Chain A
């Protein structure tokens, strides 16, 4: 995918016709919220699904860092009790239950990522991470089956992985991702990822934080078959979008396999819940505009359609 001569035409035409990029955004119905799941009881998850019933499109439910619960793979859910993959799967099923029960229009449908992260992965053994990735993929596959059997028109289920260079070495994240990707029947996985410390001016496989480089971010966010990139575009300066555009440019020119972005993730909602995070609180539309704009700054990275916009919040 060395050149992309046409993918940006739709956006250009839209902007020319309407006058502003903002006018080219999807309807607000498709600007979803994603959630850090710090409350996961059946009632909490069902209520959250009901609360989300006016939305359709891509979103993620994050359950915290990978851990073990009585020898079973799971996640930490922050201050809440650790959950094994069975409890996490049930929580997602409860969420879908509430969504299907409350949605006002039967054409609405959520594409839900079940997420964990590379947080504290450096403290885990390589094999443990690989096996956890496999256990996660198996859970996601099974939940997808239950949802498809019970609420086939309401939701589809995927994996999700919030990988951030500041949280672990790239090798540790890669072990988890490789385990997920190798699992038979695994659904695709949203890469809700950050590009901490990656270059803001160059596209020569330059270094990011913590031993990562542009190639590592590209590898985990795109080269792995399961990965669908949904980058975190938090900075109001637009620098995050610039970092991802340069990763894409390096991938296009050096690896011959440029990225295609499926959506953006912002954190305005979580910032508001936490009392603010100045400089890192793009609205969903600002995040989308930054990525669209930076990708469009070079014909080799232009992308006409970026589908999803999701804004992360806490579910407490």
Chain B
């Protein structure tokens, strides 16, 4: 090897040594930065990737697909509405759910538990607080699905009569002189009670008033009141 060659070769070696020193200095930093960048990129990739659809999301997608397959265009108002529902579902499914953002669910559930344990006391307490569980007095005559039909309510006068035990009676006093009664329980129990014929019918102008005992006072104009036992 000649000296010239040696010099020519030295220079690169010198640059190389310097480069190696630079590399020794920079490499860890580069690696750290690269690692951070790679991690960030990977994280971004992961977070950008849509999560697998929930079963409910898949149901809605199936529904939309079926509507489209049936010939409804994407612009159809119902397809758009369902798509908007699905889009909202997907957009919010990645939000970390807050179990109780208003901070009162536990207390309300505890209160419900107390009411369930003692419906009578709960009804009394609610009434005392001015927020009774049941209406007392005249109410709109409306069908009670499966229990009291629109035909039976034709021309009737309807009254809600709370009971001391925390239940209630929805009473339809028919123009035909028959009282039709539905019991609303505090435990999920709803029942049509036997019809009762009013002894003297229901004279025009009769005042109907629930009593504290859970009966119904019927006071025709100018006559003694009678009482309908609803218990």
The chain A residues found within 8 Å of chain B, CB to CB, are 1-4, 6-7, 10, 26-27, 29-30, 36, 38-39, 41-44, 46-47, 50, 56-57, 64-65, 67, 76, 78-82, 94, 97-98, 100-102, 106-109, 111, 119-120, 148, 150-154, 156, 166-167, 187-188, 225-226, 228, 258, 260, 262, 267, 270-271, 273-275, 277, 280, 303-305, 307, 312-316
Q: Is B98 an interface position by the 8 A CB rule?
A: yes
- From the candidates A29, A98, A167, A303, name the one contacting B70 in the complex (CB within 8 A): A303
Q: Which residues of A contact B66 (CB under 8 A)?
A: 7, 10, 260, 303-305
Q: State the Cβ distance, B80 to closest chain A Cβ, in Å.
A: 9
- From the candidates A1, A50, A316, name the one contacting B185 in the complex (CB within 8 A): A316
Q: Which residues of A contact B108 (CB under 8 A)?
A: 42-43, 46-47, 94, 97-98
Size category of the binding interface on chain B:
35 or more
Q: Which residues of B contact A275 (CB under 8 A)?
A: 191-192
In the complex, what distance in Å separates the CA atom of A29 from the CA atom of B98? 22
A156–B186 CB distance below 8 A = no
Interface pick from B24-32, B71-79, B194-202 = B71-79
Q: Which residues of B contact A102 (CB under 8 A)?
A: 109
Q: Is B56 an interface position by the 8 A CB rule?
A: yes
- From the candidates A97, A107, A271, name the one contacting B105 in the complex (CB within 8 A): A97
A307–B146 CB distance below 8 A = no
* Contact A64/B56 with A98-B109, A100-B97, A188-B81 known, Cβ cut-off 8 Å: no
In the complex, what distance in Å separates the CA atom of A2 from the CA atom of B126? 56
Q: State the Cβ distance, B128 to closest chain A Cβ, in Å.
A: 14
Q: Which residues of A contact B188 (CB under 8 A)?
A: 273, 313-316
Q: Is B180 an interface position by the 8 A CB rule?
A: no
Given pairs A38-B184, A47-B116, A258-B70, 16 additional interface contacts (CB within 8 A)? A4-B70, A7-B66, A10-B62, A26-B59, A43-B112, A47-B112, A80-B133, A100-B100, A152-B95, A156-B89, A167-B143, A260-B67, A260-B70, A270-B190, A305-B62, A314-B184
Most buried by B among A1, A30, A78: A78
A151–B98 CB distance below 8 A = yes
Closest to B187 in A: A316
The chain B residues found within 8 Å of chain A, CB to CB, are 54-56, 59-60, 62-63, 65-67, 69-72, 77-78, 81-82, 85, 88-89, 92-93, 95, 97-102, 104-106, 108-109, 111-113, 115-116, 126, 131-135, 139-147, 149-151, 160, 168-170, 182, 184-192
Q: Which residues of B contact A65 (CB under 8 A)?
A: 140, 142
Q: Which 8 A-B pairs have the closest CB atoms?
A: A47-B112, A152-B92, A101-B105, A46-B108, A305-B66, A43-B112, A225-B77, A43-B111
Q: Which residues of A contact B143 (CB under 8 A)?
A: 119, 166-167
B149–A166 CB distance below 8 A = yes
A81–B95 CB distance below 8 A = no
Q: Which residues of A contact B169 (CB under 8 A)?
A: 79
In the complex, what distance in Å separates the CA atom of A180 from the CA atom of B74? 23
B97–A154 CB distance below 8 A = yes
- From the candidates A30, A36, A41, A274, name the one contacting B126 in the complex (CB within 8 A): A41
| 26 A-B residue pairings within 8 Å (CB atoms) | A1-B71, A27-B55, A39-B186, A42-B108, A43-B115, A47-B108, A47-B109, A65-B142, A78-B144, A79-B182, A81-B132, A82-B140, A97-B108, A98-B108, A100-B98, A106-B97, A120-B141, A153-B92, A153-B93, A187-B81, A188-B78, A228-B78, A270-B146, A270-B190, A313-B188, A314-B188
* Contact A100/B99 with A65-B142, A109-B56 known, Cβ cut-off 8 Å: yes
Closest to A40 in B: B133
In the complex, what distance in Å separates the CA atom of A110 from the CA atom of B153? 35
Closest to B110 in A: A43
Q: State the Cβ distance, A83 to closest chain B Cβ, in Å.
A: 10
In the complex, what distance in Å separates the CA atom of A270 from the CA atom of B192? 12
Q: Which residues of B contact A120 (CB under 8 A)?
A: 140-142
A80–B70 CB distance below 8 A = no
Most buried by B among A79, A152, A275: A79
B101–A167 CB distance below 8 A = no
